[in-house]
Amino acid sequence: MTVRVRFAPSPTGYLHIGAARTALFNWLYARKEGGKFLLRVEDTDLQRSTDESTRSILEGLAWLGISDYDEEIVFQSQSADKHREAAARLVREGKAYRDFTPKGERADSNVKQEIAERARAQSEGSGTDHRANPYRDLPPEESERRAAAGEPYAVRLKVSPEGRTSFADAVYGEQTRDHSEIEDLVLLRSGDLSPLYNLSVVVDDIEMGITHVIRGQDHLTNTHKQILIYEALGARVPVFAHLPLILAPNKAKLSKRKHGEVVSLTTYRDRGFIPAAFRNYLALLGWSPGEENKELMSLEELKSLFSLEGVHRSNAVFNFSDSDPRQWTDQKALWMNAEYVRTMPLEELLPMARGELESAGLWRPEYGAERADWLGRTVELIRQRFITLKDFTGQGRAYFSDEFELDPAAVAKNLKKDAALGELLPALAERVEAVEPWNVETAEHALRAFAEERGVKAGLLINASRTALTGQAVGPSMFDVFEVVGRERSAARLRSAAQFV
């Protein structure tokens, strides 16, 4: 049997990182098993679904590198007739019935039912009769006649009062629910006969030949109802695998309304994450590769190690802080990205650095031509401490532009430290200008000789030079920095930094 899985987002907003994780797990499972990965856009809520949201979901999946769907994208709204037909069939077969309760009363009785259900949940055991619907056993001819006469009705599944549904969730294990806890669920709404979620999902999953339903844990309880629909339709029930939730540090559900941009996938693209790094990070949100206990994994490794058995039951926590900009998102995500920036093949990083420079207006044609070697050398040098691609134009800006700001803390620490620097820096600049050839060794030699002549510590000049040349207090080895910044630019910056002393 070929594995067939689907990711089924509702296009009612941005792509939530939890949904992106669901998509990724489906994709990994399909690729691991040599199966098919399908996308179904669940756009049945016409009021809330937007094309823009669909576009942003597709963009997000493409950015993550998992948009190689194996079949045409399915739009659920286009199958409404099929969903209605399935419900009609169940009515014909006596497995569902038309409920002619007028709308107002229904709303009312639903509220009552809910209250009763809650009361039942509280006082375990005292059953509510979910089957007390006067239309449940209406003779078929009368039901037909009233429908034909134009009387509005909803369609409900006839859930047997006895028995239970159970299934073995591939993550959460055996799940059982007594039928007495499940109402005769509505399949089609009264009036326009629009299909409800549980019906649409099941009919589409059958139609698409889905073998494994991998989705968020918030759907675990729906599954019992869906299994009843599968059974009524006489279809094979797929394997279900529910994924743990992703929670905020205070254990609340992670939502855009409460937590803002940090939950939206495109935020990571826009803030300079590397797709492979974020994918790697997402893979570990609720899954681990068993004994290997590895964290940095290439796509090939993820594909070969992924398994549903490795999915955790406990919810994942997304650790970030609203008040500290350095912890704007989960610490592990930042760490993972920094590891990728630092260790990925340079030839893969360069186009990303270029994109970043281009969007900041700092790219120059010569970087792609006669200064390509310089660019490679510079990126190699500065990437060691970077966290995101934004650092190429943030803390790394001085390598690519003469217009950069000096970090006030660095100025205080390295330039204002010793008044003598006001005279030392221009003198060092003059010395630098005379060095020939200019490279790591000659720069070091010049600086150390100058320090000795002046009777000052080389460290004083090294630290001051770092802030003068890069605007920062920390960075790569200073003599490397001298080389890549170049002799003339170094001298000019040493001179102009004297004004801050």
Instruction: Just list the catalytic residues.
Output: 256
> What letter represents residue 63's amino acid?
W
- Contact between 8 and ligand GLU by CB under 6 A: the answer reads yes
Among 23, 35, 42, 280, binds ligand GLU (CB under 6 A): 42
* Least spacing, CB of residue 213 vs ligand GLU, in Å: 6
- Contact between 286 and ligand GLU by CB under 6 A: the answer reads no
- Contact between 101 and ligand GLU by CB under 6 A: the answer reads no
Among 215, 225, 493, 495, binds ligand GLU (CB under 6 A): 215
Count, in order, helices (H) and strands (E) of the chain: 20, 12
Omega before residue 139 within 30° of 0, cis: no
* Least spacing, CB of residue 165 vs ligand GLU, in Å: 16
Q: Which is nearer to ligand GLU, 9 or 35 (CB)?
A: 9
Cα 404 to Cα 397: distance, rounded to the nearest angstrom: 6
Six-digit token string for 111: 């509220």
- Contact between 472 and ligand GLU by CB under 6 A: the answer reads no
Q: Of 6-14, 98-106, 176-184, 323-331, which segment contacts ligand GLU by CB under 6 A? A: 6-14
Task: Tell me, rounded to whole angstroms, the distance of Cα 9 from its chain centroid.
Answer: 13
Task: Tell me, rounded to whole angstroms, the distance of Cα 410 from its chain centroid.
Answer: 35
Q: Of 3-11, 109-117, 320-328, 424-432, which segment contacts ligand GLU by CB under 6 A? A: 3-11
By rule CB under 6 A, what count of residues binds ligand GLU? 7
Burial of 211 from C-beta contacts in 10 A (0-12 / 13-18 / 19+): middle
- Contact between 60 and ligand GLU by CB under 6 A: the answer reads no
- Contact between 10 and ligand GLU by CB under 6 A: the answer reads yes
176 SS3 class: strand
- Contact between 225 and ligand GLU by CB under 6 A: the answer reads no
Cα 27 to Cα 166: distance, rounded to the nearest angstrom: 27
Q: Which is nearer to ligand GLU, 27 or 482 (CB)?
A: 27
- R_g over Cα of the chain: 32
Are the C-beta atoms of residues 216 and 9 closer than 8 Å to each other? Answer: no
Omega before residue 249 within 30° of 0, cis: no
- Contact between 219 and ligand GLU by CB under 6 A: the answer reads yes
DSSP, res 171: T
Q: Which is nearer to ligand GLU, 42 or 483 (CB)?
A: 42
Closest-by-Cβ residue to ligand GLU is 215
- Contact between 201 and ligand GLU by CB under 6 A: the answer reads yes
Q: Which is nearer to ligand GLU, 201 or 462 (CB)?
A: 201
How many residues make up the chain in this entry?
501
* Least spacing, CB of residue 218 vs ligand GLU, in Å: 7
Six-digit token string for 389: 């691609």
Cα 149 to Cα 152: distance, rounded to the nearest angstrom: 9
Task: Tell me, rounded to whole angstroms, the distance of Cα 458 from its chain centroid.
Answer: 47
Q: Which is nearer to ligand GLU, 60 or 272 (CB)?
A: 60
Q: Which is nearer to ligand GLU, 19 or 464 (CB)?
A: 19
What is the contact surface with ligand GLU in residues (CB under 6 A)? Answer: 8-10, 42, 201, 215, 219
